[in-house]
Amino acid sequence: MGKRRPKETPSYLNFDEEAYSWKPDVDYKKYPELYRVGRGEQGVLICEPYKSEIGQFWRFKTEAIAEESSSKIYDLFLGYVNKQDFVGADMARKYLQMGFTRARRYANYRGGKKYDKENEYQLLERGTGQKEKAEAAEVFYVKWKLAESNEIYAQMKQYWKKRIG
């Protein structure tokens, strides 16, 4: 399977809020059955109270900051797994993934900007970013993959997707 081609324009330009599975006014701890796994990092900046519980620790400015951040988020992940709180565990996993992807974006593109909105959203030149962000991305990548390989989490996720979606 080959590499995915970058989108011609960012997906947020045609965002359909009504069709989006995650809603900001839902308490996903009280109503976990409304949570959907989705793809990648979907819902990570919306699903409360997990967004507030986990997001406050999400940082990737330097490798040292990423190490502290990813360790704290991974500890939260393990806590959610131990409580059989799949939504919390999945959200923590998504924050680890997002730490990797956002840090990589800053490593690849100066200022983390991938598209030139002044020029019809053309892709900007790669390789103009910060080296320290690549190091931070690697830290998050290790913790993200560790979370994904957690057997209890994997079983919870498989069950959730089969039962709820």
Q: Write out pLDDT tens, residues 105-118.
A: 878 776 666 665 66
Residue 128 pairs with which residues in a beta bridge? none
In a domain, residue 99? The reply is yes
Confidence check: pLDDT of 42 > 70: yes
Report helix angle 86-108 to 151-163, nearest 10. Answer: 110
Range of the domain at 109: 42-163
Nearest alpha carbon to residue 144 among 87, 74, 58, 47: 74
Percent of the chain beyond pLDDT 90? Answer: 59
Counting the structural domains of the chain, the total is: 1
CA distances from 125 to 7, 29, 116, 128 (A): 14, 42, 10, 7
Contact between 41 and 98 under an 8 Å Cβ cutoff? The reply is yes
In a domain, residue 76? The reply is yes
Query: What integer is the mean pLDDT of 13-37?
Result: 81
Residue 23 pLDDT: 83
Mean pLDDT taken over the chain:
85
Residue 79: pLDDT band by 50, 70, 90 thresholds? very high
In a domain, residue 121? The reply is yes
In a domain, residue 87? The reply is yes
Of 30 and 17, more confident: 30
Residue 4 pLDDT: 52
Residue 1 pLDDT: 45
Confidence check: pLDDT of 69 > 50: yes
